[in-house]
Amino acid sequence: MSDQNVPSSVAGTGAGGWTGVVRRRAVRAFPPDRLLPDEQPSWVASWIYVFGVLTLSALCVVLATGGVLALKGPAWWHISSTGRYVNSLHLWSVELFMAFMVVHLWGKFFMAAWRGRRAMTWITGAVAFLASVGTAFTGYLVQQNFDSQWIAGQAKDGLNSVGIGGYFNVLDFGQMLMWHIVLLPLALGLLTVWHILLVRRRGVVPPIPLDAGSADEGDPS
């Protein structure tokens, strides 16, 4: 049932069941021109604002190459030249992903990007960064070489020393593979979608005003 068929007297109430309530809230929070804008404020015309989308682009390559590796399996990525090429693409796209994300983090930190009701945008980005560190770490653990054995041995002592070693076993290859290809990518994916929706909802943070009396923080809502 479309919104045109809902009498104005009941629109905004519980009419239409839970799907209607969710739809009205979603449209209110994310009107189409805010969800998919075709222009940005003038201050966005700076290279420092490019690193968010660079991070996202690198993440797409990470997920795509990781999907191919999962489909083909370790015998392929260890032995065949094509497999090793895709394995390298997976590694280097992660390197770029982390580097772009850190530059993005520096930029947002120095422009105090949590201003204008953007605290949750900042928090989801910071937690996504931590999830990325965990995903990259478990990736190192499942290389199936001496490097991964060394890292797992060192990490086991470190994690035990801070009291969280009982929750997972970094020496367990199967468990770490599942963390790397299921749990952590799922968490990182959800955090990324949440982060981007919040950026759309609150808009890109404006520069810190030179005039201390100016309080415009660019919150569109």
Partner 1 sequence: MSAPPISPGLAAPVNLNHTGHYLHWGVVQISVANLAVVGIMVLVFLLALVLPFPRGRGRDE
Q: CB of 200 within 8 A of CB of 29?
A: no
210 binds partner 1 (CB under 8 A): no
CA distance 4 to 116: 34
75 binds partner 1 (CB under 8 A): no
CA distance 53 to 42: 17
107 binds partner 1 (CB under 8 A): yes
Of residues 114-143, those binding partner 1 (CB under 8 A)? none
Length of the chain, in residues = 221
Choosing from 36, 45, 75, 212, the residue that interacts with partner 1 (CB under 8 A) is 45
56 binds partner 1 (CB under 8 A): no
Tokens 């895709």, located at residue: 86
221 half-sphere exposure, CB direction, 13 A CA radius: 17
Structure tokens at 178: 């599942």
Stretch that binds partner 1, among 8-16, 40-48, 122-130, 138-146 (CB under 8 A): 40-48
What are phi and psi for residue 213, nearest 5 degrees? Answer: -80, -15
Number of other CB atoms surrounding residue 186 within 10 Å? 11
- Residues whose CB falls within 8 Å of the CB of residue 6, separated by 6 or more in sequence, listed in order: 15, 16, 20
Choosing from 56, 61, 64, 103, the residue that interacts with partner 1 (CB under 8 A) is 103
Q: CB of 35 within 8 A of CB of 59?
A: no
Closest approach, Cβ 42 to partner 1, in A, equals 6
| Residue 79 or 210 having the CB closest to partner 1 | 79
102 binds partner 1 (CB under 8 A): yes
Stretch that binds partner 1, among 21-29, 101-109, 167-175, 199-207 (CB under 8 A): 101-109
5 binds partner 1 (CB under 8 A): no
Closest approach, Cβ 48 to partner 1, in A, equals 4
159 binds partner 1 (CB under 8 A): no
Closest approach, Cβ 121 to partner 1, in A, equals 20
Tokens 């990470």, located at residue: 62
Count of residues engaged in binding partner 1, rule: CB under 8 A? 14
81 binds partner 1 (CB under 8 A): yes
Give the DSSP letter string of 102-117. HHHHHHHHHTTTTTTT
Contacts with partner 1 by CB under 8 A lie at: 42, 45-48, 50-51, 79, 81, 99, 102-103, 106-107
